[in-house]
Amino acid sequence: MSSFPDATALIDRLQPDQPVTLNRPHAAHRAARHFVEHFPGKSLYAVKANPSPELLSHLWDAGITHYDVASIAEVRIVAETLPEAVLCFMHPVKTREAIREAYFTHGVRIFSLDSEDELTKIREATNDADDLTLCVRIRVSSEHAELSLAAKFGAVGDEITPLLQESRQVADTLGICFHVGSQAMTPHAYVQALERVRAAIVDASVTVDIVDVGGGFPSLYPDMTPPPLRDYFGIIDRTFESLPISYSAELWCEPGRALCAEYNSLIVRVERRRGHELYINDGAYGALFDAAHIGWRFPVKALGNDDEHYIEFSFFGPTCDDLDHMAGPFLLPESIRAGDYIEIGMIGAYGAAMRTAFNGFGDTLQFDVEDAPMASLYDGSQTGLLSADNVISFSR
């Protein structure tokens, strides 16, 4: 893959007429090394955040050996890309066919569940295998996260004790897992969840071999400045050590966004300006799904425009759909016009994963670049984004 020093150098040379995804392998490597070296347990990359085979390989090279897969398609992608990786099928509701193929074809032995029906499926699809690691997912609060994941999955109330006890009878290794939501903005989210784990273990009186704190580890965006990741790691470690578990129990986590957000940015071209609205060549059905549908703010900068007077813009994507709209606001030079290019940062998490071919759009070029991402939790500063004029408050 061709490489450029930065987005400006790429634009100067290519003048692309379609969106360009910029890959920063060094940023993914740095994020992975941070988790490998500082998280007090095992880190599983959540493949759903960005299933790029190139990214999977970069993370493997940086020391990530376990991968959280949520579908048989993700199982196949990782198995093909990284034959030696450990695959953890962490979707709590799977088809029997997917479980069977994962177990017998791809060697998957780690499965999540949140119901007795799922436990029955796993037993039947694996022919009552005796080498299973089963992680029972319990529901916890998402009140401290920007995006809730508290409604769809997780055993609750009186369901938890019998499910843990029955899973213990089936599993060679038993775990408890949860998800505090995406972009958790305080380490306290994990303390609350781990206290739920404590109560579940005591009530069920079972030996638990794994505690998996799931994902939710944040990245840095406009108006979203989380504490350093080491604060999360420290409080998780202390709370885990106080749980009623054996000295040999393992601590796991499933970072997605935190490992891949800084890996990608996006170059788009302005095709039309209508007042404070910019028509660009990517959008809600491409890499900017989150900007359109949940109002996610991404950092932006105009390439090759030195105008220091910034005003607020919204974006329209290239499709015929009115829903192809990113409200922002995005602060850009007042003089921006059709033909100008914009770099949109921090789209490595869920950007590539959400891209479609709706309305005939969806093609994108890809190149590696060597410069730093537009924001980072791994450079020790947490600055850059915070001092930019691109900070506008919003609420959801």
With cut-offs at 50, 70 and 90, classify the pLDDT of residue 393: very low
Q: Is residue 268 part of a domain?
A: yes
Q: What domain count does the chain have?
A: 2
Q: Is residue 282 part of a domain?
A: yes
Q: Report the CATH number at residue 137.
A: 3.20.20.10
Shared domain check, 237 and 334 = no
Query: 316 forms bridges with which residues in the sheet?
Result: 279, 325
Supply 112's token pair.
Answer: 């999540």
Residue-wise pLDDT tens digits, 23-69: 999 999 999 999 999 999 999 999 999 999 999 999 999 999 999 99
Q: Is residue 153 part of a domain?
A: yes
Shared domain check, 267 and 247 = no
Tell me the average pLDDT across 295-317.
93
β-strand 86-89 against 250-253: which pairing, if any?
unpaired
Which structural domain range is residue 70 located in? 26-260
Q: Is residue 383 part of a domain?
A: no
Those residues whose C-beta lies under 8 Å from the C-beta of residue 105, and which sit 6 or more positions away, are none
Active site residues: 320
Shared domain check, 244 and 274 = no
Q: Is residue 77 part of a domain?
A: yes
Q: Which of 238, 260, 282 is the last residue of a domain?
A: 260
Q: Is residue 298 part of a domain?
A: yes
**Burial readout 19-41 (b: 16 or more C-beta within 10 A, e: otherwise):** bbbbbbbbbbbbbbebbeeebeb
HEC readout, 64-87: CCEEEECCHHHHHHHHHHCCCCEE
Q: Which of 210, 238, 260 is the last residue of a domain?
A: 260
Shared domain check, 307 and 183 = no
Supply 71's token pair.
Answer: 């579908």
- pLDDT value of residue 9: 96
Q: Is residue 392 part of a domain?
A: no
With contact defined as beta carbons under 8 Å apart, do 11 and 341 qualify? Answer: yes
Residue-wise pLDDT tens digits, 199-258: 999 999 999 999 999 999 999 999 899 999 999 999 999 999 999 998 899 999 999 999
Shared domain check, 254 and 271 = no
Shared domain check, 92 and 17 = no
Residue-wise pLDDT tens digits, 322-380: 999 999 899 999 999 999 999 999 999 999 889 998 888 888 899 999 999 999 999 86
Those residues whose C-beta lies under 8 Å from the C-beta of residue 303, and which sit 6 or more positions away, are 7, 8, 11, 267, 340, 341, 342, 343
Shared domain check, 297 and 252 = no
Shared domain check, 286 and 218 = no
Q: Which of 222, 245, 260 is the last residue of a domain?
A: 260
Residue-wise pLDDT tens digits, 149-195: 788 899 999 999 999 999 999 999 999 999 999 999 999 999 999 99
Shared domain check, 200 and 182 = yes
Task: Count CB-CB contacts under 10 A for residue 219.
Answer: 24
Q: Report the CATH number at residue 339.
A: 2.40.37.10
Q: Is residue 240 part of a domain?
A: yes
Shared domain check, 326 and 180 = no
DSSP for residue 219 = -
Shared domain check, 339 and 226 = no
Shared domain check, 273 and 138 = no
